[in-house]
Amino acid sequence: MEHNGFYSSDHPSNRHSEGGSNAFATIVIILVVALLALLVVGLFWPNLLGYNSSESYTAVTPTPTAAPLESDGSVLPPAAADTAVPEATPMPAVDSKDREMPNLDGIAPVVPGLSENPIPDIYDAVSPGVVGVLNYQKVAGISGKEIEEIYGSGTGFAVSSEGYILTNAHVVDGASRISVQLYGDDQEREATLIGSDTETDIAVLKIEGVTLQPLKLGDSDQVRVGEYVLAIGNPLSTDELANTITFGIVSATTREVTIDNYTNTYLQTDAAINFGNSGGPLINMSGEVIGVNSAKTITAGYDELGNAVSAEGIGFALPINQVKKIMGILITKGYIERPGIGVTVSTVDEAMAEENGVPGGALVQSVVKGRPADQAGILAGDIIVEANGKEIKTHEELVNIILNCMIGDEIKVKVYRNGDYKELVIQIGNKSEMNFDDIVGGLTPSPVPEIVPAP
C-alpha cells in the first residue's frame, strides 16, 4: 500500500530491496577503507624510505650585481642635444708587443645541413671561446680601508689564440681590475685592457698564459633580415647561468639607435639578451660571429597612468664588420681619434626660431673648458648659423662638417649672439681627449624664451 509516496516495510518486495541495500553498503565501506589506506601509505611511505622532500628543489639565486652594465639596460630615445663623449677614455699603458695586431685565427665549426638541427653542434664548437668578464672597482670597506669588489660582470669572446678578447666598453668601464673566467674553469685570470672606446662601446682585453679558442668572425654586411641567430653569454652572473644560449632571428640589419647619448648602427634581434649578455657573440648558423650583443629595450613606453609598458624581444648587437675596424685601431694605437671642437649642440628649427625671434641653426648648449670652441670664443647660448661657408640649419649638419675634418684643421663659423653676428675660427681637436663634464659656466642656458650666454 502506498501512502503519500512512502513504501511500507511490511511489503514483501520492500524486504527484498532492504537486503540488497545492505550488500551495497558493505561494498562502499570496503572501498572507503581501501582509499584511506592508500592515502596513509602515500603520506608516510616516502619518509619510511628516508626521503626528504626539501631535497627535491634547488633554489637558483643569481649573484647580485651592482649598477647595471648597460646603464639602465634600456635604449634611450635619440637625444638631439647630446652629440659628444661625456668622458675621455685614457689610453691603457701596455707592453709594445701587445700593440702588434694578432692573427685573427678563429675557425668556423663544421655543422650539419639546415635540414637537421645544427644548434647543438654550433654550441659545442663555439662555447669554449666565450668567456665571463668581471669588473672590479675600489670601494671603502667597513673599516674604512679601500678594498676591491665586483662591480658587475659581462661576457666576452676570444678573437685570437694569442689571448685577445672582445667585449663591450661599458662592461669594463671604471674598472680598477679586470679578470676573465674561461668556459668550464673556476679560476679567474687577470686581463689587461688593451683599449676601450666608449662611443662605439668596444673594448679589447688580453690574457696571458693560456691558448684561447678563437671564434670565426663573419661578414655582417651579408646578414639578411629573418636569418636564424644565436646569442651566447652569461646573463645575470658568470656563475649560475654561464654560457647560456638563446635562439632567434635577425629583426633588422641597420637600426640607428642612440644609447647613452651615442648613436650607432645595430643589428636588431629577438634572441633573448639580458644583463650580463653584454659583450657576447651573436652567431649565425655557420657558427660565425656577426655581432657583439650590447643592449636591449625593456620599456616600450608608458600608459595613461605613467606605468611603464614592458617590451620583449628587442635586442641590439654591434655589426662585427664595424667592430673589427675599431678593434684594429684599439689594438695598434690604444685609442680612437675623432675630430671635435668641444661643444654639445641641438637644433633651433624654424618654429622655435620664429617664436623667439632668432635665426635657425645649431644651438650651443655647453662648451668644454679649455678646448677648441672655448679657445675660439664660442659661448653656450650661441647659435652657429654657418660653417666653412655653408648655411647650418640643423645640429646634424654642423656635426657632419666637423666629422669630415682632420684633427688640426681650421673651420670658420658664423654665430648669432644677443642680436649680433660674429665670425670665429676654430681649430679641430681630438674629441677623445675632451671631458664633456668639465664645461664653461656650469648649467646649460635655456634657448627659450630668450637666448642668453652662460656667465
Q: What is the pLDDT of residues 410-452, one digit of tens each?
A: 999 999 999 999 999 999 999 888 888 889 986 444 333 333 3
Domain boundary at 332, 365, 393, which? 332
For 388: left if phi > 0, alpha if psi spans -120 to 50, otherwise beta; the answer is left
In a domain, 271, yes or no: yes
In this prediction, residue 130 carries a pLDDT of 97
Residue 235 shares a structural domain with residue 106: yes
Q: Per-residue pLDDT for 351 more than 50?
A: yes
Which of 60-64, 120-124, 148-152, 399-403 comes out lowest in average pLDDT?
A: 60-64
Same domain, 232 and 317: yes
Lowest mean pLDDT among 37-51, 175-189, 244-258, 424-438: 37-51
**Domain residues for 257?**
96-332
Identify whether residues 309 and 353 lie together within a single domain: no
Which residues form the catalytic set?
Answer: 170, 201, 278
Residues 265 and 225 in one domain: yes
Quote the pLDDT of residue 413.
96
Specify if 385 maps to a domain.
yes
Predicted confidence (pLDDT) at residue 391 exceeds the cutoff of 50: yes
Specify if 55 maps to a domain.
no
Higher pLDDT, 183 or 65: 183
Regarding whether 360 and 289 lie in a shared domain, the answer is: no
- Predicted confidence (pLDDT) at residue 76 exceeds the cutoff of 90: no
CATH number, domain at 358?
Answer: 2.30.42.10
SS3 99: helix
Q: Is the pLDDT of residue 68 over 90?
A: no
For residue 206, name the pLDDT band (cuts at 50, 70, 90).
very high
Lowest pLDDT segment from 69-73, 92-96, 248-252, 335-339: 69-73
Q: Both 255 and 113 in a single domain?
A: yes
Q: Where would I find the H helices in 89-185?
A: 119-126, 169-172
Tens-place pLDDT, residues 315-348: 999 999 999 999 999 999 998 888 999 999 999 9
Q: Is residue 53 part of a domain?
A: no
Say whether both 228 and 325 belong to one domain: yes
Between 452 and 231, the more confident residue is 231
Q: Assign 3-class secondary structure to 283-337.
A: ECCCCCEEEEEEEECCEEEECCCCCEEECCCCEEEEEHHHHHHHHHHHHHCCCCC
Looking at 332, 354, 376, the residue that finishes a domain is 332
**Domain for residue 135, yes or no?**
yes
Same domain, 220 and 175: yes
Average pLDDT score over the chain: 81
Instruction: Evaluate whether residue 90 is within a structural domain.
Output: no
Residues 172 and 224 in one domain: yes
Query: What's the total number of domains in the chain?
Result: 3
Q: Is 271 a residue whose pLDDT tops 90?
A: yes
Residue 309: give its domain's CATH number: 2.40.10.120
208 and 319 assigned to the same domain? yes
Question: 306 or 202: whose pLDDT is higher?
Answer: 202
Residues 160 and 15 in one domain: no
Q: What's the confidence (pLDDT) of residue 45?
A: 47
pLDDT of residue 26: 62
One domain for residues 388 and 261: no
